[in-house]
Structure 1
Amino acid sequence: VFVPTMGKESNFLVDFAAGGISGAIAKTCTAPIERVKLIIQTQDANPRIMSGEVPRYTGIGNCFARVYQEQGLRAFWAGNGVNIIRYFPTQAFNFAFKDTIKGLFPKYNAKDDFGKFFAVNVASGGLAGAGSLCIVYPLDYARTRLASDVGSGKKQFKGLTDCLVKTAKGPKGFFSL
């Protein structure tokens, strides 16, 4: 049991689970929008679109319609499993570690010294976020690659493991991340 500066008891595992589960639900709800955004953002680097094999997407509506027509409703959640695997620990670590990191800083009262209290909160939140990002960045890369795989033909990757293995075996390995 960890006792944060505010005097409330906090259970690290409960905070970890609460942060992770809430993040997973949020990402699943927004997955279709995220998928369309990634397809449009990455289409200029997509070899199948650049070669003319798959036509360019002309906008958000066109992308939604074509993904549904070419790949079906489930395609809007392509890469979402990886997204959850990536986002769960990000949110879980952020949520669970913020108070732990905050405990490393001097304690300030919000009413007496709001500026310093605010700075400690921003710094502890930022450090928790930066630490989480270092851990989950390879998963973010894989999610982007999986979600931007377009068209109704053969996919470039079979899933998360295949994407990470092919990246590691590439000319620059994980340094290409």
Structure 2
Amino acid sequence: MGEVVKAKKGKDPLSFAKDFLAGGISAAVSKTAVAPIERVKLLLQVQHASKQIAKENQYKGIIDCFVRIPKEQGLVAFWRGNLANVIRYFPTQALNFAFKDVYKQIFLGGVDQKTQFWRYFLGNLGSGGAAGATSLCFVYPLDFARTRLGADVGKGAAERQYNGLIDCLKKTVKSDGIVGLYRGFNVSVQGIIIYRAAYFGCFDT
């Protein structure tokens, strides 16, 4: 009875690889599909602080933004920053589940869900939050780059601040060092701990 967790973790390497790929691919497809909406949302959020968008050229709303982006920046501009988003979500989804299993062995080793429900529930919360925080340490630079690229409204390469994902990462490291890639991490990690703790706590209990 006390080996419930151990029994659930009897996954072979092939099963783990399938979970890894399935989680990453599904996230990549879904993020690519909604990328235009994400970019419009991001531009509306940051336009008042952007040096590239003059006050008189700010977007008037969602429809105006959707109409002007392809006219001013080209149709593919809807997916600006999407590569970073896809790369970020592939390991994020996979690492969350991988690290969750590792932390469940730590928090829930020998805990029986039926006889120790609340300890099991709290262990799931802890393993979910820890998994989310650990995963974020690896992928946060991509999240940072996605935001920077999505907020870049230059029409051509000469007007844009960054020419792509690698260029964004290189310029940030050159100007601010590695720590520059983790700007805002403290706030993000608090949110991800709460979110993943609640998600896995409810999902696995």
TM-score normalized by structure 1? Answer: 0.86
1:63: which partner in 2? 65
Give the structure 2 partner of residue 38 of structure 1.
42
Which of 132, 136, 140 aligns to 1:133? It is: 136
Q: Which runs of 5 or more residues in structure 1 are unaligned?
A: none
What is the aligned partner in structure 1 of residue 97 from structure 2? 95
User: Which structure is higher in helix share?
Assistant: 2
Aligned-residue Cα RMSD (Å) equals 2.1
Tell me which amino acid in the other structure corresponds to 1:6. K
CA distance in 2, matches of 1:158, 1:96: 33
Aligned length: 172
Alpha-carbon spacing, 1:160–1:4, altered in 2? closer, same or farther (3 Å): farther
Instruction: Specify the alignment match of 2:160 in structure 1.
Output: 155
C-alpha distance after superposition, 1:29-77 (max 9, x if no partner)? 2211111111111112211114x5x711121121111112222332211
Match of 2:107 in 1: 105
**Aligned residue type for 1:37:** K
Look up the equivalent residue of 1:71 and give its one-letter code.
Q
- Give the match for residue 173 of structure 2: 168
Task: Find 2:26's aligned residue among 22, 25, 35.
Answer: 22
For 1:94 and 1:156, locate their aligned partners in 2 and report how far apart those are by CA, in whole Å: 32
Change (3 A) 1:18 1:88: same
Q: Secondary structure at the match of 1:134?
A: helix
Q: How much does 1:162 deviate?
A: 0.7
Match of 2:122 in 1: 119
Structure 1 stretches of 4+ with a deviation exceeding 4 A read none
- 1:19-38 per-residue CA deviation (whole Å, 9 max, x = no partner) reads 21122122112211111111
Unpaired segments ≥5 residues, structure 2: 184-205
Match of 2:199 in 1: none
More displaced, 124-133 or 60-69? Answer: 60-69
Q: Find the residue that maps to 2:58 and give its secondary structure.
A: coil
Which of 4-13 and 60-69 deviates more? 4-13
Structure 2 Cα separation of the partners of residues 130 and 104 of structure 1: 16
Letter of the structure 2 residue corresponding to residue 160 of structure 1: L
